[in-house]
Amino acid sequence: MMKDKQFIISEIQRTAMLRGGEPLGQRAFQDEAGITEYEWKGAHWARWGDALLEAGFKPLEWNTALDEEEILGGLAGLVRKYGRYPVKAEIQIESRNNPAIPVPNTLWRRIGDRSKIIQRLQGYCFSKEEYADVSAILAKETVETEQRKDKGEATGLSKSQRPSGYVYLVKSGKLYKIGWSENQWRRKSELHKQTSEGITEVHTIAAIDDAPGIEKYWHERFKEKRQHGEWFDLSPEDIRAFKKRKFM
């Protein structure tokens, strides 16, 4: 069904507000709002710039096609900030505040998967003295990626079947624990022994990229609900948000 014109305008304004008032380019808007080109082009506007104008913004041509060096510079800053290559959820959040960071789907289309991005980023940082620290971080990422690859090949599993770990949500009493483990079943068995009330499994996310980083993302997201350690007092809405994710 074709989207209503006013609805699309409201989505342009909403996604711009998430970026401090800076509107998204056409591809980034599609990734963020889920509204494809065919739903507005030729139906409501001839060009994306016309849609931005009607939503109250000036057209930003550079926003539709970021320079690759600008993208790599933005990603290098994120690697320095996190001390590792960020996971998809972190890139998604950062892209809302930094126009030099495309959303993950755009990154994938422009450069490739995580390993290809890291490879390209290594080449970019190696040639720039100011990114020597980032080069060192990325070198470690490469070693860890190869170790995971070797481990997966030894077990005969395909890439899509090889999560780096699992981020789980379990309940004990009134509180919920968010943790990660390389072996989801062994860790849950250990938790049962550690709690007097036992635990109830709520949901598990298969971590394709970086289980510790994804765990950290959820801890940060629910930091206002933290009671102690990895235990949180979560609302039904919080739990629904976590359960929406099967893979990250």
Tens digits of residue pLDDT in 15-72:
888 777 778 777 778 878 888 887 888 888 887 888 888 999 876 544 444 567 778 8
Choose the weakest-confidence range: 17-31, 98-112, 191-205: 191-205
- Characterize the bridge pairing of strands 200-207 and 165-172: antiparallel
pLDDT above 50 for 154: no
- Residue that the structure tokens 């598990």 belong to: 204
H-helix segments, the chain: 5-18, 26-33, 48-54, 68-82, 88-95, 104-110, 114-126, 132-155, 184-194, 211-221, 236-243
Predicted confidence at residue 224, as pLDDT, reads 92
Give the per-residue pLDDT at 222: 92
Q: What is the pLDDT of residue 127?
A: 67
CB 213 within 8 A of CB 84: yes
What integer is the mean pLDDT of 119-136? 82
Residue 155 is predicted with a pLDDT of 41
pLDDT tens digits for range 163-185: 667 888 888 888 999 988 876 55
225 band by pLDDT with thresholds 50, 70 and 90: very high
Three-state DSSP at 159 gives: helix
Supply the pLDDT for residue 158: 46
Across all residues in the chain, what is the average pLDDT?
77
Instruction: Look at the pTM and tell me if it is higher than 0.75.
Output: no
